[in-house]
């Protein structure tokens, strides 16, 4: 059974940093590209970042470019999101999701975790 478990969320002050993790199991991790998608409270889905199977291709939404860094460790079946210079508008539930391709696009988010909540507030 595919499982994605996010962790690392919490309350953080504006301007500070946070690192999210996603532990994957139940599938061959390095057969899939991985993505982060977020959802602000009561709002829609926003794609944040994605990474190909071998980290050779990486993409970011304009809203996080230069502040967030995605990475993966295939030996540990783990995905990460380093979030720096956090802003109030980054407050959201952050999901990790698989894409049933090895490359960044096409992107089909076929498995999702349950999300980890990030709240940016003073």
Partner 1 sequence: DIQMTQSPSSLSASVGDRVTITCQASQDISNYLNWYQQKPGKAPKLLIYDASNLETGVPSRFSGSGSGTDFTFTISSLQPEDIATYYCQQYDNLPGFGPGTKVDIK
Quick check: 66 binds partner 1 (CB under 8 A)? Answer: no
Nearer to partner 1, 80 or 109 (CB): 109
Q: Are 122 and 57 within 8 A, CB to CB?
A: no
113 lies in the site for partner 1, by CB under 8 A: yes
Q: Which residue number, 50 or 120, has a Cβ lying nearer to partner 1?
A: 50
115 binds partner 1 (CB under 8 A): yes
d(CA 104, CA 122): 35
- Residue 9 touches partner 1, criterion: CB under 8 A: no
The CA dihedral of 105, 79, 116, 97, to the nearest 10 degrees, is 30
Assess contact for 33 and 89: CB atoms under 8 A: no
Query: Which residues between 22 and 41 bind partner 1 (CB under 8 A)?
Result: 35, 37
């Amino acid at each position: 059974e595919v499982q994605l478990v996010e962790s690392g969320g919490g309350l953080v002050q504006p301007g500070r940093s946070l690192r999210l993790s996603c532990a994957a199991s139940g599938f061959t991790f390095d057969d899939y590209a991985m993505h982060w998608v977020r959802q602000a409270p009561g709002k829609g889905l926003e794609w944040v970042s994605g990474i190909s199977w071998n980290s050779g291709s990486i993409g970011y939404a304009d809203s996080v470019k230069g502040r967030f860094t995605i990475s993966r460790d295939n030996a540990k079946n783990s995905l990460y999101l380093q979030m720096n210079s956090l802003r109030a508008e980054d407050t959201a539930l952050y999901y990790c999701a698989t894409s049933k391709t090895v490359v960044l696009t096409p992107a089909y988010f076929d498995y999702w975790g349950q999300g980890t909540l990030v709240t940016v507030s003073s």
